Amino acid sequence: MVAGHRAYAAAERYLTTSDENHDALASLLAHHGASATAPWNLLRPSFEAAFYALWLLSPSDSQQRRQRGVRLEWLDDIETEKFHRVALGNREVLQQLGLGDAAAKIPPYRENTDTYVREANATGLAFQTTRHRRQVNHRPARVNVENELGGLFPEEGLMSLAHTTTWKTLSGIQHAEAGALLRVTDRSSLGGYPGGQRLHLTINDGAFYLACLVTASMRAFAWSRFGECHRPARSNEPVDLRAMRDMFTRYPAASSQDH
């Protein structure tokens, strides 16, 4: 089945990323403590990675899951291409470092794009085609997390609101937005200065607990859907026992709300 492998390989990668950040958060709280900003910056990748796993596998239609798998891997590959052009694109700097030949490693044409275009066409994935400097650029649309969160829980308004507001807060804190940080901290004034004031910030227990609860629920939903996708459609078909054992081994950590 075209692109069938991409969705499940990506989902497992996202779930692993979410689990590792969960474990790192527990370690941070045990050894460093709940400082004003650091814990939130481990919740953010845990939430986001779990979201991508759930978003990727949530459609009941296999074709839609394959479309999303192609889309995410293609976007990943585009970012890799951008990195290489930044890292290897400045010939003068590379020559100063004695790496003058490195720029030649940037291929003018990438076979990866042909693969993604072919798979996108085969699965019915819509993508953009633009012409730039005599080259035709193919690009899939980026995934807007905030917009897609509502689609995960279309009939659960409260749940959609909780996940969306948590996402905006986590995203804002990781980008050092003052408004997002002030929403989830207790503060006392240390004095003022023209146009502002100095504050002593401490993490708000209630806000942190709620964000942990919402993040844990996202991870649990993602793991549950991952398990459902390993379940045969008809009872007389074999179960992938190795995949199921691996899932149940890791699920207790994914569903834990102790931290």
Confidence of residue 259 (pLDDT cuts 50, 70, 90): very low
What pTM was computed for the model? 0.83
One-letter amino acid identity for 117? V
3-class secondary-structure state, position 258? coil
Give dist(CA 162, CA 166) in Å, integer.
6
pLDDT greater than 60 at residue 207: yes
1 token code pair: 């089945």
Give dist(CA 7, CA 199) in Å, integer.
46
Strands 128-132 and 185-193, by their bridges, are: unpaired
Tens digit of each residue's pLDDT (9 = 90 or more) over 11-70: 999 999 999 999 999 999 999 889 988 999 999 999 999 999 999 999 999 999 999 999
pLDDT at site 230: 73
Q: Is the separation of the CB atoms in 23 and 253 below 8 Å?
A: yes
Tens digit of each residue's pLDDT (9 = 90 or more) over 162-186: 999 999 999 999 999 999 999 999 9
Tell how far CA 13 is from the center of its chain.
10
Phi, psi of 220 (to 5 degrees): -65, -45
Which of 60, 74, 53, 54 shows the shortest CA–CA distance to 9? 53
The mean pLDDT value for 188-192 works out to 86
